[in-house]
């Protein structure tokens, strides 16, 4: 049996993987920013829940998070399509990791920036939103790009909750054709063909940012 | 609840076994790869760079399926434990090579120069002067990587390795009620209990190393 | 740079600064010990002394970047007493009267030079963007940096960055300007560019408090010299007189150490 005729199925799977990545990264980073603000807060009722969410999200395997969403939410009477269960699980993991990266970025902004803003008479809010946050986010860009690549790879775990992404399609094609070695090799190369250049790009961006180029 | 706890804890030794074996492979396998990344020959350097990036570019689950289902020589096939250990071990080698390389990269160039000026050979310079310092600065990253490996070991459950997560999914499939998800929460708690002390130690180590530098 | 730096200076209500019985601790360490000092409107005060003498901390107390533990500070008609809770409104009002220039410039690297100068005006004086940028361009022109307006601060030399920082503060019409070792991070030949701008500002009648190691500037430009050591004022008075005839041994030692550099 010719593997080539099954390539479109892998292509369809890849599209689903990329959709999962995009959704979980966009939602995850927004929630990650909220978590980062929460963890940095001086108010205990904001700080502690955010801290627990972040440590739990980073401390448990993404696979376990997916299973909890997939098996757990229906038990609570909430029903999701598998696809959305995967989006929720991957978003949570991305949020937890990104929040630490964003927090590190914010912390890396020199204290003099905040001082200069206060000395000019800018309010604390303006100083944070317009002076500190943009610089903090900029310095966390390379880490967030790396996390986006990790998130793309992590979409392969959605196979385990039967989402029709690339890994599931590969599994099905392999089962039909019995060409396990060839199918999984091709699949691995598809993932790598996206992840490796993306990694090189993020390294390039990191160097540019380090050189102070805008 | 008692059943769920028992069934998850029965998987814990397997979780730890997979993690430790894969980590050991990575610690050793990372060394030649790191030397390649630091080679003076450009071709070797580029080849190793490409290999490390390629290994890391393929998701762990694909590595495990490739080794478990894909490797058949006659009647020989890897059992699921070996496939998981070797798969995660290969990935660890690539990540640890990169971490080792990073450790060497942060050393001041004066160290190698001073060693050379004293007339110490290249091997002695690397093994006795540079490597101990590089290892010291890499320790927090190595500990952090061990944690992510612990979490990735759960992926072995997808090829049938009977770790905590595998046992939890079996339980959930047999109990499609609310009780079905209890084992996942227990497994999650166990991962947290193992990782939080390591995370705290790594953070302390990191601040201490920063202070001494 | 023949045009006076701030032609508006005379229109401005220039304020004086009154510091009385100020103290500040960092943990167990008493860094300011019962400091009293008066800065007349339109005068230039130079603060000198060995590192760790508390001069920067004193300066930073004037705009409450540091919160004093005792005493009071009056800028213009506004008085802040230590121990009383300062309302956000009063804090901002104080900082809007007082401009500050830092040793490390602290320009905002993600803004262009023009935005660095215009943005605070929009936020603090409520100017429109056009108005703020137009004024920013005028001020940049006066310090010879018009052509840098659309670049990022990272592309400017240290001396240029410090001149931009001065302009950024001036654009807000402060009544007092604080300078915290403005030339210490600069090579001497570049520091001159910055000192020239400061001298023009002094000539235009701005109230200035300057922490500095530039003895020539202190002698030629300042009206009043304050020597600090170990958190106290050990000597103050006419700059030329103190430099020629230090009344204190510690002043003498400090001066000879600085001049020998």
Residue C261 pLDDT level (bands cut at 50, 70, 90): low
Q: Cβ contact (<8 Å) for B70 and A59?
A: no
- Nearest Cβ partner of A121 from C92, C106, C154? C92
Tokens found for residue A204: 């390039």
Residue A166 — left, alpha, or beta (φ > 0 → left; ψ -120 to 50 → alpha)?
A: alpha
pTM score, two decimals?
0.85
pLDDT of residue A81 exceeding 90, the answer is no
Closest approach of A181 to chain B, Cα-based (Å): 4
CB A72 within 8 A of CB B176: no
ipTM of the complex: 0.91
Distance CA B12, CA B4 (A): 13
Neighbours of chain A (3+ CB pairs under 8 A): B, C
**Percent of chain A with pLDDT strictly greater than 90:** 83
Chain C hits for A139, Cβ within 8 Å: none
Among C167, C184, C188, C210, which residue's Cα sits nearest to residue C56?
C210
Q: Cβ contact (<8 Å) for A214 and C124?
A: no
For every residue of chain A, which 3-state class applies, written as one string?
CCHHHHHHHHHHHHHHHHHHHHHHHHHHHHHHHHHHHHHHCCCHHHHHHHHHHHHHHHHCCHHHHHHHHHHHHHHCCCCCCHHHHHHHHHHHHHHHHHHHHHHHHHHCCCHHHHHHHHHHCCCHHHHHHHHHHHHHHHHHHHHHHHHHHHHHHHHHHHHHHCCCCHHHHHHHHHHHHCCHHHHHHHHHHHHHHHHHHHHHHHHHHHHHHHCCCC
CB C239 within 8 A of CB C224: yes
Q: Are chains B and C in contact at 3+ CB pairs closer than 8 Å?
A: no
Query: Which residue bears the tokens 């599209």?
Result: A15
Name C29's bridge partners. C26
pLDDT of residue C167: 95
Size of interface A-C (CB pairs under 8 A): 61
Closest approach of A141 to chain C, Cα-based (Å): 14
CA distance readout (Å), C240 to C162, C165, C218, C228, C258: 27, 29, 9, 17, 15
Q: Cβ contact (<8 Å) for A60 and B188?
A: yes
Q: Cβ contact (<8 Å) for A181 and B199?
A: no
Q: Which residue of B has its CA nearest to A191?
A: B58
C127 contacts chain A (CB < 8 A) = no
Tokens found for residue A133: 């946050």
pLDDT of residue A1: 55
Q: Give the mean model confidence (pLDDT) for residues A172-197.
A: 94
Residues 89-148 of A with CB under 8 A from B: none
- Nearest Cβ partner of A156 from B61, B177, B191? B61
Distance CA A127, CA A113 (A): 9
Chain C hits for A121, Cβ within 8 Å: 92, 95-96, 120, 124, 172
A169 contacts chain B (CB < 8 A) = no
Taking only the tens place, the pLDDT of each residue in B56-89 is 999 999 999 999 999 888 778 889 999 999 999 9
pLDDT of residue C208: 96
Among C118, C109, C19, C27, which residue's Cα sits nearest to residue C64?
C19
Q: Pick from A14, A21, A58, A59 the residue to mutate for testing the B interface (most B CBs within 10 Å).
A: A59
Average pLDDT, chain A: 92
pLDDT of residue A213: 52
pLDDT of residue A174 exceeding 90, the answer is yes
pLDDT-wise least confident of A183-192, B1-10, C54-63: B1-10
Other CB atoms within 10 Å distance of the CB of residue A94: 29
Closest approach of B111 to chain A, Cα-based (Å): 25
Give me the phi and psi of C211, to 5 degrees please: -85, 125
- Nearest Cβ partner of C172 from A121, A135, A138? A121
What is the Cα Rg of chain C in Å?
18
Distance CA C239, CA C46 (A): 8
pLDDT of residue C114: 96
The SS3 call for residue A211 is coil
Taking only the tens place, the pLDDT of each residue in B11-38 is 999 999 999 999 999 999 999 999 999 9
């Amino acid at each position: 049996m010719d593997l080539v005729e099954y390539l479109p199925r892998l292509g369809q799977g890849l599209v689903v993987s990329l959709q999962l990545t995009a959704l979980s990264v966009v939602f995850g980073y927004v929630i990650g920013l909220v978590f980062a603000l929460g963890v940095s807060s001086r108010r205990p009722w904001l700080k502690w829940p955010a801290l627990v969410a972040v440590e739990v999200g980073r401390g448990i395997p993404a696979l376990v998070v997916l299973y909890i969403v997939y098996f757990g939410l229906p038990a609570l009477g909430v029903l999701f399509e598998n696809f959305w269960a995967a989006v929720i699980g991957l978003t949570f993991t991305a949020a937890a990791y990104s929040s630490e990266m964003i927090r590190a970025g914010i912390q890396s902004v020199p204290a003099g920036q905040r001082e200069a803003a206060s000395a000019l008479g800018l309010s604390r809010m303006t100083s944070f939103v317009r002076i500190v946050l943009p610089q903090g986010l900029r310095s966390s860009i390379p880490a967030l790009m790396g996390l986006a690549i990790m998130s793309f790879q992590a979409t392969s775990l959605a196979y385990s909750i039967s989402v029709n992404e690339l890994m599931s399609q590969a599994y099905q094609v392999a089962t039909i054709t019995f060409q396990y070695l060839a199918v999984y090799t091709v699949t691995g190369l598809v993932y790598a063909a996206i992840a490796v250049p993306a990694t090189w790009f993020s390294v390039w961006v990191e160097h540019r940012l380090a050189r102070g180029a805008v | 609840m008692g059943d769920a706890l028992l069934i998850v804890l029965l998987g814990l030794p397997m979780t730890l076994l997979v993690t430790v074996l894969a980590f050991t492979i990575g610690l050793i396998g990372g060394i030649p790869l790191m030397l390649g990344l630091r080679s003076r020959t450009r071709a070797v350097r580029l080849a190793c760079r490409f290999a490390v990036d390629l290994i890391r570019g393929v998701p762990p689950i694909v590595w495990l399926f490739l080794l478990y289902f894909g490797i058949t020589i006659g009647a020989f096939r890897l059992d699921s434990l070996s496939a998981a250990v070797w798969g995660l071990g290969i990935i660890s080698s690539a990540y640890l090579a990169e971490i080792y390389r990073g450790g060497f990269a942060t050393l001041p160039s004066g160290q190698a120069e001073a060693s050379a000026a004293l007339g110490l050979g290249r091997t002695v310079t690397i093994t006795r002067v540079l490597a101990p310092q590089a290892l010291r600065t890499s320790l927090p990253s190595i500990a952090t990587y061990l944690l992510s490996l612990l979490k990735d070991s759960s992926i072995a459950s997808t090829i049938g390795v009977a770790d905590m997560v595998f046992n939890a999914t079996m339980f959930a499939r047999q109990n499609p009620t609310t009780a079905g998800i209890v084992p996942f929460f227990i497994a999650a708690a166990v991962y947290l209990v193992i990782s939080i002390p390591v995370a705290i130690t790594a953070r302390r180590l990191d601040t201490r190393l920063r202070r001494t530098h | 740079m023949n045009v006076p730096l701030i032609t508006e200076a005379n229109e401005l209500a220039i304020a004086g600064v009154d510091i009385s019985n100020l103290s500040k601790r960092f943990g167990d360490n008493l860094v300011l010990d019962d400091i009293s000092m008066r800065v007349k409107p339109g005068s230039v005060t130079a603060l000198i002394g060995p590192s760790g003498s508390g001069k920067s901390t004193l300066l930073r107390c004037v705009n409450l970047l540091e919160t004093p533990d005792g005493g009071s500070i009056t800028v213009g008609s506004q008085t802040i007493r230590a121990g009383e809770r300062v309302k956000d409104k009063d804090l901002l009002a104080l900082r809007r009267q007082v401009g500050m220039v830092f040793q490390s410039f602290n320009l905002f690297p993600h803004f262009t030079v023009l935005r660095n100068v215009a943005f605070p005006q929009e936020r603090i004086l409520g100017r429109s963007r056009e108005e703020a940028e137009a004024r920013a361009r005028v001020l940049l022109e006066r310090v010879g940096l018009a052509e840098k307006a659309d670049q990022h601060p990272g592309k400017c030399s240290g001396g240029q960055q410090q001149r931009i920082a001065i302009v950024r503060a001036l654009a807000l019409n402060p009544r007092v300007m604080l300078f915290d070792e403005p030339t210490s991070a600069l090579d001497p030949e570049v520091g001159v560019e910055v000192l020239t701008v400061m001298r023009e500002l002094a000539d235009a009648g701005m109230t200035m408090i300057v922490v500095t190691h530039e003895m020539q500037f202190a002698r030629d430009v300042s009206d009043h010299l304050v020597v600090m050591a170990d958190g106290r004022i050990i000597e103050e008075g006419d700059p030329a007189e103190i430099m020629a005839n230090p009344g204190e041994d510690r002043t003498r030692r400090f001066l000879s150490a600085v001049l020998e550099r």
